[in-house]
Structure 1
Amino acid sequence: MTNSSRDTLPLPDYDHLPLGGLESRVRSLTADEVDALLTYEHSHAHRLPVTEVLSARLEQLRTGAEPTGGDPSALRPEQHGRTTGSPVSPATSSQPFSPPPHGTPDQRGRPKGDRT
């Protein structure tokens, strides 16, 4: 399969899905779609945990399980609503301080230029 076949996989961005995301999203696929992912996985990364998940789901579908509702192209939970940075604001943060270089916390550090 070529890179263009990656674009036709039933799960968008399949190669970057974490195992937990794959396990939940593969449930909405048909047996043919899961088989396509399994074939792609065998010919590319061949990750054992992924092939086990896909094989187990394919077996479930072949023995009568039905695909569940859901949209395989929906936003992944690991991408939705992620913010960066700290939730702490300047108003709620503590006062900056510099601990003393040695000794007890009561001793104030002196700059090196003042030492005699």
Structure 2
Amino acid sequence: MSLPLPDYDNLPVGSLQHRIRSLTTDEVQQLLDYEQEHNDRPQVVTILSQRLEELHNGAVPSQGRQLDDPVETEGTSHGSPVDPSGSPQPMHPPRHGTGELPGKPKADRPRKQ
């Protein structure tokens, strides 16, 4: 059975709502029937049912195409751009005073009388 969304069973639920926007009423119904027969995930059934209702009430499928890759992988570099050489040197404030006004050890302070 060929479904209107590539790799439908592995799509994250979060991207499904956006991916079905370009589907026709028949295509959404096909996904809903498939979902109810196979996985029957309540959240997915709700999303598909709501989209079907929107289409029956006059919504028009959006322009666009379905990609073979999930939406979440678009534009990612598949690695961390973080490099330890780009880290700043650790900066620890002085225990007493600041760099311009260094603190004085207690021995150098005048005694209170």
Query: What's the TM-score once normalised by structure 2's chain length?
Result: 0.69
Q: Which amino acid aligns with 2:15?
A: G
Among candidates 49, 59, 77, match of residue 65 of structure 1: 59
What's the counterpart of residue 47 of structure 2?
Answer: 53
Query: Does structure 1 residue 29 correspond to structure 2 residue 23?
Result: yes
Is the 2:28–2:48 Cα contact (8 Å) retained in structure 1? yes
Between the aligned partners of 1:49 and 1:91, the Cα distance in structure 2 is 45
Aligned to 2:73: 79
Aligned equivalents of 1:42 and 1:79: distance in 2?
27
**TM-score where L is the length of structure 1:** 0.68
Distance in 1 of aligned mates of 2:14 and 2:84: 36
SS in 2 for 1:78: helix
8 Å CA contact 2:7–2:68 kept in 1: the answer is no
Matched with 1:113 is none
The question of 1:40 aligning with 2:34 is answered yes
Q: What is the rounded CA distance, in whole Å, between the counterparts of 2:11 and 2:58 in structure 1?
A: 26
Whole-Å separation in 1 of the counterparts to 2:37 and 2:57: 25
User: What is the aligned-residue RMSD (CA, Å)?
Assistant: 1.9
How many pairs were matched up? 89
Segment drifting more, 10-19 vs 46-55: 10-19
